[in-house]
Amino acid sequence: MARDDANYLQRCWTWDIRRRHPLFPSSSIFKTSQNSVWRLEPSLYLPKILLKAVKTVWHHIMIDVLSTSGWGFLAPGVKIVEYNSRTVLAKLAQFDYLIPQIETETQVYQAIEGHRIRPEFIGHLVEHGRHGGIDDLGPCKVTVERLHSLGFVHRDTNRYNFIVSPESEVKLIDLECAKKGNAEDMQRELAQLPEKLANESGMGGMGSESSDPFGSDATQNDY
């Protein structure tokens, strides 16, 4: 069945679009459209436009949205995610007109902090990083080698498990598959790294079969 471009884009959540684009400049708007091979691409860039955002930022923890692994939407604007080996709910405004709703809820959460009325407020979701790619091979390799120096191999070094900050600092996530390894394991993991970072198939990213905690382990290294 053919898909209407406008309707298709309405179904593309912010997180999905961020995973298909490079790091956005600050306070910028991109108009996106589908090309002939069904890939999102920017067609208009409007700089110096202040984007709307939640202004009530009171919690000390900031969580980069790309450091979470998603399982799917529980309800509109409510997503089940994995964060720090915990299953938690993430609430987000998918469109500008929903921001006031999140703003109000955040203010109320702050007002009733410590009164045992609501679930734990873990932190604020922010968009500061991007996933690694083949251009980040150098810093990604350094981070993997740092893990190896402690005696561990990651075992799932797909590009979506590397978070690159605007300062090009690289962090590894999804460490639940890591285990103690020997020199051969570490050498193999480093040898596979360029191929993993260059892989644009989406394997290991949010929404892929391999990112399902109850699904396949197809992206894991075989050691």
| pLDDT at position 20 | 52
Q: How high is the pLDDT of residue 93? A: 85
202/61 Cα distance (integer angstroms): 29
What's the pLDDT score for residue 203?
65
pLDDT (0 to 100) of residue 185: 96
DSSP state of 38: S
pLDDT at res. 12: 44
Q: Are 215 and 186 in contact (CB under 8 A)?
A: no
45 close to 67: Cβ distance less than 8 angstroms: no
pLDDT score recorded for residue 7: 40
Q: How far apart are CA 33 and CA 38, in angstroms?
A: 9
User: Please, what are the averages of pLDDT over each run of 10 residues along the chain (223 residues)?
Assistant: 39 48 50 57 52 85 82 85 89 86 94 93 86 93 96 93 87 88 96 93 54 36 54
- Give yes or no for a contact between 157 and 196, defined as CB atoms under 8 angstroms apart: yes
- The pLDDT value recorded for residue 97 is 87
- pLDDT at residue 35 in the model: 60
Output phi, psi for 131, to 5 deg: -80, 155
